[in-house]
């Protein structure tokens, strides 16, 4: 089979498509024939800075495909089932490949409304939004949520998750993306390029810190008792600053979770959550996918098409 590997840390050019043996699923694991693999910022952060041990290793976690085989003890799936998920994160998963093994409880059945490309773009970004807003912040109807970069991978899904929970959503985006963010359900959209977001947004119950380096600037938007949920490890110092100044703030790292995946699948099945796929590239153009993502201008998700 084909698999993307890297033998050194560096730019997109370190990513190589190599021949590899099809893995065997172990007990409680399934073998998935990958139809599409999502690309996320953590992928190029690992590619450049490491975090998976010394190279060689393979980045990539988001996957959508078809169960090809099941290991001993698996009862949740059978061969032929269409599934999606984020296996093994933050350990190595190797989702940029023709086949990948995954613990069965790191996957869920793919919503029929979503294509494999859309489903591949959902797990990491969708789980991040769900766990930050629902599990950590526990948003409820009427709560005011501020989502910077609301047209991005996490942002565009978080807007829809928050609206599905009945929240009032304020998003930030460039002017060209305002219509897109409003169509997602945002109640207000602020042009971060021309407006002072910190003075435009007010009485915020939850600040979803999707962009590193903005917490101190946006903390003044919080209502009394408001909460900050940081998604980037680079904000660790800002989270500490917030806590020391009497604010409620947490740093959250997304985790694989069967129940949360099924909640996302349910929203998608009910038409309350769509995944916007900005660009689909073949596996062989993985370096181009990373280069495009690192520009930071993507609306929604970048996805690799793996098998037809």
The three-state (H, E, C) secondary structure of the chain, written as one string: CEEEEECCCCCHHHEEEEECCCCCCCCCEEEEEEEEEEECHHHHHHHHHCCCCCCCECCCCCEEEEEEEECCCCCCCCCCCEEEECCCCCCCCCCCECEEEEEHHHEEECCCCCCHHHHHCCHHHHHHHHHHHHHHCCCCCCCEEEECCCCCHHHHHHHHHHHHCCCEEEEEECHHHHHHHHHHCCCEEEECCCCCHHHHCCCEEEEEECCCCCHHHHHHHEEEEEEEEECCHHHHHHHHHHHHCCCEEEECCCCCCHHHHHHHHHHHHCCCCCCCEEEEEEHHHHHHHHHHHHCCCCCCEEEEECCC
CATH fourth-level superfamily of 125-251: NAD(P)-binding Rossmann-like Domain (3.40.50.720)
User: What are the boundaries of each domain within the chain?
Assistant: 2-122+275-305, 125-251
pLDDT of the residue at 293: 97
pLDDT confidence of residue 149:
97
What confidence score (pLDDT) does residue 214 get? 95
User: Is the overall model pTM greater than 0.95, yes or no?
Assistant: yes
> CATH assignment of 2-122+275-305, given 3.10.20.310, 3.40.50.300, 3.40.1190.20, 3.90.180.10?
3.90.180.10
For the chain, which ranges sit under pLDDT 50? none
- What is residue 67's predicted lDDT score, i.e. its pLDDT? 98
Query: Could you tell me what percent of the chain has a pLDDT over 70?
Result: 100
pLDDT of 307: 87
pLDDT digits (tens, 9 = 90+) for 231-257: 999 999 999 999 999 999 999 999 999
What local confidence, expressed as pLDDT, does residue 68 receive? 98
């Amino acid at each position: 089979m084909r698999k993307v590997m890297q033998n050194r840390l560096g730019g997109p050019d370190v990513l190589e498509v190599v021949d590899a043996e099809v893995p065997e699923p172990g007990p409680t694991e399934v073998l998935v024939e990958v139809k599409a693999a999502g690309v996320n910022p953590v992928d190029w952060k690992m590619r450049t800075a490491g975090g998976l041990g010394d190279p060689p290793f393979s980045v990539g976690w988001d996957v959508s495909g078809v169960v090809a085989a099941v290991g001993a003890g698996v009862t949740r799936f059978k061969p032929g089932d269409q599934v999606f998920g984020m296996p093994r994160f933050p350990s190595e998963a190797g989702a940029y490949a023709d086949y990948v093994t995954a613990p069965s409880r790191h996957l869920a059945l793919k919503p029929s409304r979503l294509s494999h490309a859309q489903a591949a773009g959902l797990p990491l970004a969708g789980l991040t939004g769900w766990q930050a807003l629902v599990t950590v912040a526990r948003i409820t109807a009427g709560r005011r949520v501020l989502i910077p970069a609301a047209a991005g991978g996490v942002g565009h899904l978080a807007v829809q998750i928050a609206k599905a929970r009945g929240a009032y959503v304020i998003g930030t985006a460039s002017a060209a993306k305002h219509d897109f963010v409003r169509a997602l359900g945002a109640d207000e959209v602020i042009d971060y390029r021309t407006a002072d977001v910190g003075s435009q947004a007010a009485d915020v119950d939850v600040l979803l810190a999707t962009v590193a380096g903005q917490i101190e600037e946006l903390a003044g938007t919080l209502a009394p008792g408001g909460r900050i949920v940081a998604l980037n490890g680079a904000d660790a110092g800002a989270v500490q600053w917030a806590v020391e100044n009497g604010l409620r703030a947490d740093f959250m790292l997304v985790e694989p979770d069967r129940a949360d995946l099924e909640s996302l699948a349910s929203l998608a099945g009910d038409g309350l959550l769509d995944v916007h796929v900005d660009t689909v590239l073949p596996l062989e153009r993985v370096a181009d996918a990373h280069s495009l993502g690192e520009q930071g201008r993507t609306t929604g998700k970048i996805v690799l098409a793996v098998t037809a």
